[in-house]
Chains A and B, each alone.
Chain A
Amino acid sequence: MNPDDLRYHKEHTWVKVSGRKATVGITDYAQEALGDIVYIDLPEVEAEVEINAEIGEIESTKATSSIIAPVSGKIVEINEDLAESPEVMNEDPYGKGWIAVIELEDGSEVDELMDASEYTKYVEEEIK
């Protein structure tokens, strides 16, 4: 299920805030919808990203999909392991499948995101 300590963006990304840093990944719903992930185009460290903008792309065996930034800020770390093992995003989207760490520009953006129960409802609506 969607962990309670995360915040969720409507484009199916999540953030986990710790101080000024936010770890970002795709949700379980997203990985399920994409199917087997075969490649990820990671953002570059130091890149400035804006909320709602594309920060990377994911290719699965059936689709390519943009990764949308759930918050604005600067990329300070990326999950290099995904380059070799993109399938980790399928296996553990909220853990080892994290994509990047963003240094937050504006903490209030996080408050605008959905919490776990809101996101779960949102996804149920989307499936209907």
Chain B
Amino acid sequence: MKLAILGAGPGGYVAAIRAAQSGAQVTIIEEREVGGTCLNRGCIPTKAIIASTELLSRARELDSFGLESSGEILPNLARIVDRKNTIVATQIKGIRNLLKSWKITLKEGRGVLSSPNRLSVSSGSGPMETIDAENIIVATGSRPYQIPALPFDGKRVLSSDHALGLTEIPKSILIIGAGVIGCEFACIFRELGSEVTLLEKLPRALATEDIEISEVLAREFRKKKIRLITNTNTDRMEAGADGVHVVLIDGREIFAEKALVAVGRAFNSEGIGLEEVGVKKGICGEVLTDGKMQTNIPGVYAVGDVVGGLLLAHVASTEGMIAAANTLGGDEHMDYSSIPSAIYTSPEIASVGLREFQADERGIKVKTGHFQFRALAKAHVLGEIDGLVKVVSDALTDRVLGVHIIGPRASDLIAEAALAVRTGLRTSDIAETIHAHPTLPEAMQEASEDVSGTAIHIAKR
């Protein structure tokens, strides 16, 4: 089977490898660099920078750990970004080698569908090339959404792409949008020493997370002196030579050296021949697919950010593997019910499954259990006591429907929760599972116990 894949991000390259493993003859087309947004402009670069800011934050606490240093530890953003670039370059090489090892052909250029079985690829210099394939997977991803009133210029008005390349720490930065990207950058810049203002038009930061998680995060922002303004909208915005000036609808004015616009992502579904071939799209330009990741055109599949929904690398990769299997005659369906997500704020946030407010909206009766990290010895040992674990379970069956964590290593702790939600475990299953002591996952056990009021390290209420 000949398979062509448009886009070599975590959706496309994973689909390519999976299909090649099953014997398909795969060509993958990439206009920019393999690894997509995740590796080049998203997950990996932000986490590489956060690794530096996190160390910086810990270094400021050296004294409380009984460690004395003779000099001040200061961030050098240019070098932090260099380190980030090295990490990204290494990973790019890794993906290229993987593709090569599976005999996947990588075409560098812009691919456009000319029929459900044919693509043309043009690179800057070379002649147009035609690729025939029995199946095509569209995995073209997304890009930062631009607001017309404040277009990106890369100097004053930044997208997350630009922000990852800054080599000088701005004195002040205004971040528009308190979603995942906005909140992560707020923590990064605050740690580096910038004055940070975060604007959100919804009533709370991270509006898709459980309400209690947003509340704890808001408190952590207050501690860090990140100014979070919710329930607001901008009335006027101007980028000038000395910075950005924004007037809010309530008349408040904000000046900042730079603005980062993080209000969402736009889908890369234009100019690649989808309309010509007749592939259906949704109102935001996302490509519509069925549960097997196939579009309305037989043989044309789509995966990753470009299909909308949850714009997460691991969702893209899973969709990619499912699409790959289905192009080879499989009958696999995507299940979105137990997808964990991790947000690298400080402290970290991770969640899986149902939020309590979603349960209310759907009329599902739930019980909740909570456990504060500050009640856990290991959290004190690490010097990271802020945050909590919240378990949401079905009131009738005791099954774990959702788990929401804000606190140390939340992104690691969510794995157990994802297994519980996916396999329909009961809170008693987690409560009765012996968790090693002293470890952070004990918080998961205690929160599960708390659903029935039997957590050992919570005082009688």
Interface size on A, residues (CB 8 A): 9
In the complex, the answer to whether A63 meets B375 with C-beta atoms within 8 Å is: yes
- The answer to whether residues A39 and B372 also contact, given A61-B380, A61-B385 and a CB cut-off of 8 A, is no
Task: Write out the residue numbers on chain B whose beta carbons fall within 8 Å of the beta carbon of A61.
Answer: 374, 380, 385
CB distance from B408 to the nearest CB of A (A): 15
Task: Write out the residue numbers on chain B whose beta carbons fall within 8 Å of the beta carbon of A57.
Answer: 219
Q: Which of A11-31 contact B (CB under 8 A)?
A: none
When chains A and B are docked, how far (Å) is the Cα of A64 from the Cα of B386? 9
CB distance from B406 to the nearest CB of A (A): 12
In the complex, the answer to whether A41 meets B222 with C-beta atoms within 8 Å is: yes
Interface size on B, residues (CB 8 A): 10
Assess whether B223 is interfacial by the CB under 8 Å rule: yes
Least CB separation from B218: chain A residue? A41
CB distance from A5 to the nearest CB of B (A): 31
In the complex, the answer to whether B222 meets A64 with C-beta atoms within 8 Å is: no
When chains A and B are docked, how far (Å) is the Cα of A60 from the Cα of B374? 8
Least CB separation from B375: chain A residue? A62
Task: Write out the residue numbers on chain B whose beta carbons fall within 8 Å of the beta carbon of A39.
Answer: 223
Most chain A beta carbons < 10 A, residue from B222, B374, B386: B374
Task: Write out the residue numbers on chain A whose beta carbons fall within 8 Å of the beta carbon of B375.
Answer: 62-63
Cross-interface CB contact of A64 among B223, B372, B380, B459, cutoff 8 Å: B372
Q: Which of A21-79 contact B (CB under 8 A)?
A: 39, 41, 57, 59-64
In the complex, the answer to whether B219 meets A62 with C-beta atoms within 8 Å is: no
In the complex, the answer to whether A63 meets B372 with C-beta atoms within 8 Å is: yes
When chains A and B are docked, how far (Å) is the Cα of A64 from the Cα of B222? 15
The digit string for B366-410, where 1 denotes a CB below 8 A from any CB of A, is 000000101100001000011000000000000000000000000
Provide a sorted-by-A list of 11 A–B residue pairs whose CB atoms are within 8 angstroms.
A41-B222, A60-B374, A61-B374, A61-B380, A62-B374, A63-B372, A63-B374, A63-B375, A63-B459, A64-B372, A64-B374
Binding site for B on A (CB under 8 A): 39, 41, 57, 59-64
Binding site for A on B (CB under 8 A): 219, 222-223, 372, 374-375, 380, 385-386, 459
Assuming A63-B372, A63-B459, what are 16 further A-B pairs, CB within 8 angstroms? Answer: A39-B223, A41-B219, A41-B222, A57-B219, A59-B374, A59-B386, A60-B374, A61-B374, A61-B380, A61-B385, A62-B374, A62-B375, A63-B374, A63-B375, A64-B372, A64-B374
